[in-house]
Amino acid sequence: MEIRFLGGAREVGRSALVIDDSLLLDYGSTADAPPQFPVEPPREITPDAVVVSHGHLDHVGALPALLSGDDRPSIHWTPPTRELTRRLAEDTLKLHGNSPQCPFGREELKRLDEVSVPHGYREQFTAAGYRVTLFDAGHIPGSAHVLVDDGDTRLLYTGDFHTDDQRIVAGTTARPDADVVVCESTYADVEHEDRQTVEQRFTESVQTTLWEGGTVVVPAFAIGRTQEMLLVCAAADVPCYVDGMGTEVTATLRQYPEYVRDPDALDRAAGHAREVTGRDGQRERIADQPVAVVTTSGMLSGGPAMTYVPAVRANPTNKITLTGYQVAGTPGRELLETGSAEIDGRVVRVSARVEQYGFSAHADESGLRSFLDAYEDATVLVNHGDSCAQFADRLRVDGYDAAAPELGETVTV
Ligand SMILES: [Zn+2]
């Protein structure tokens, strides 16, 4: 079996790898402007089939581009991943559709439905001649570990995963037998704070601000994090609004209750949050009320958050609670480090208090280690991280056959 790493090797973003030039796993893009794509452009890669791990931009962002020529590879995924991919592709067309750098158009997006083959977890199927099985990865609804078996070698591509429970999905428990594991390593050198403690600190901080009459802006990624924050707010009875793409994503995920840890809780959380239409200065009015607003984007790089932050920034009673990792160079990171942020091309000073909470959907170092405990005899190929090589080094010290392939590298197993 030959595995070529086309993206997400010693980096995060644009995940893609191809097996024997035939079976493609993920085909993502970065959230940069302009976005970056896997190193082999769609016209040069002609897979017989594609299997997708989950519906985040860095795993599916460039997928429709594979359908631009005459080739129509089948695309295998869970139903929620299919829906999230379609939603992200529509968003990409809205943002970049007029740019020559946009790798696909409306035609390609439409063809997704023609080639889509949905599968449930643990249901074996054939793709490009391989036996493939998806297992619940505990990252977001529909997220999967992908097991690929050519009759000789079993490869497990972990995709993004979490070993601890979140409110929206339970952690992964699947450890299928494998000879080779391609393992994500986003938080390979981090230990997360206990989730209950994070939640408690978050809700106490929000409640305090609301009692003082302030507004709390809760920037959150649309897929996974927005639903998690709505569940947290509902459980603590924090009055909240929801705004941005996360609203539609919540509605989509409610249609797939079997992929959500507690569908009734998600229904209640969706009912608990008031939806923002954004008409007639509604956002400005909300920014004057003692409520929380869960809104895209998670790193303040777009979306309605750009209306709320300027509206709440001048009053130190207000608060902005970032709910995840902030990539260097984003307005969210800038705000954390300098107390100012560039919003719509203007650098604004923020007097409102700024806090950060680690509501991660990825395993931390202990989580990665506990997962890999089941694979001591396998070859481990570390990807999807900022320090893949260092993590592979540490695994080797502990007796693993581990490596961190580089971008464009082919590994024969
Ligand atoms: Zn992800």
Q: What integer pLDDT is reported at residue 343 of this predicted model? A: 78
Residue pLDDT, tens place only, 303-361: 999 999 999 999 999 999 999 988 888 899 999 999 998 877 889 899 999 999 999 99
Q: Cβ(47)–Cβ(4) under 8 Å?
A: no
- What was the pLDDT predicted at 211? 98
Based on the domain organization, do 120 and 269 belong to the same domain?
A: no
d(CA 362, ligand 1 centre) in Å: 8
CATH number of the domain where residue 332 is located: 3.40.50.10890
Contact 121, 134 (CB under 8 A): yes
What residues does 145 pair with on adjacent strands?
Answer: 135
Q: What is the mean pLDDT of residues 224-251?
A: 98
Indicate the SS3 state at residue 84. helix
pLDDT of residue 18 exceeding 90, the answer is yes
Mean predicted lDDT score pLDDT of the chain = 95
Query: Are 240 and 230 within 8 A, CB to CB?
Result: yes
CA dist., res. 374 & res. 82, Å (int)? 30
Residues 77 and 165 placed together within one structural domain of the fold = yes
How many angstroms is it from 299 CA to the middle of ligand 1?
Answer: 15
How high is the pLDDT of residue 45?
A: 86
Q: What is the mean pLDDT of residues 204-216?
A: 98
Both 243 and 336 in one domain: the answer is: yes
pLDDT at residue 69, as a whole number: 85
Do 108 and 248 reside in the same domain of the chain?
Answer: no
What is the phi/psi pair of residue 391, to 5°?
-65, -40
Structure confidence at residue 52 as a pLDDT band (50, 70, 90): very high
Rounded to an integer, the average pLDDT of 188-212 is 97
Q: Does 11 lie in the same domain as 151?
A: yes
Residue 156: phi and psi, rounded to 5, are: -110, 115
What separation in Å is there between the alpha carbon of 60 and the centre of ligand 1? 10
If asked whether residues 27 and 176 sit together in one domain, one would say: yes
Q: Looking at the structure, do residues 340 and 201 belong to the same domain, yes or no?
A: yes
CA 289 to ligand 1 center in whole angstroms: 33
**Cα 319 to ligand 1 centre (Å):** 27
pTM of the predicted structure, to 2 decimals: 0.96
pLDDT confidence of residue 101: 81
Measured in Å, residue 159 CA sits from the centre of ligand 1 at: 8
* Domains: count for the chain: 2
State the distance from the centre of ligand 1 to the C-alpha of 236, rounded, in angstroms. 26
Residue-level pLDDT at 41:
74
Q: Is residue 33 pLDDT above 80, yes or no?
A: no
Say yes or no: 36 and 175 in one domain.
yes
Sheet of 240-243: strand order equals 274-275, 240-243, 292-295, 216-219, 319-322, 353-356
What is the rounded average pLDDT of the residues 208-227? 98
Q: What is the CATH number of the domain that holds 371?
A: 3.60.15.10
SS (H, E, C) 161-207: CCCCCCCCCCCCCCCCCCCEEEEECCCCCCCCCCHHHHHHHHHHHHH
Say if residue 348 is in the same domain as residue 401: no
Residues 291 and 344 occupy one common structural domain = yes
Q: Which of these ranges, 147-151, 161-165, 227-231, 278-282, has the smallest mean pLDDT?
A: 278-282
Q: Which of 308, 331, 356 is the last residue of a domain?
A: 356
The residues, ordered by sequence, that sit 6+ positions from 69 with a Cβ below 8 Å of its Cβ are 42, 43, 46
Q: Rounded to the nearest whole angstrom, what is the distance from the C-alpha of residue 160 to the centroid of ligand 1?
A: 5
Ligand 1 center–CA 223 separation, angstroms: 9
Task: Based on the fold, state whether residues 310 and 404 are members of the same structural domain.
Answer: no
Owning domain of residue 330:
195-356
Nearest to 410 by CA among 16, 145, 17, 12: 17
pLDDT per position as a tens digit, 380-389: 999 999 999 9
Q: What angle do CA 87, 91, 92 make, to 5 degrees?
A: 115
Q: Do 208 and 228 reside in the same domain of the chain? A: yes
Six-digit token string for 54 = 């989950």
Average pLDDT over residues 205-209: 98
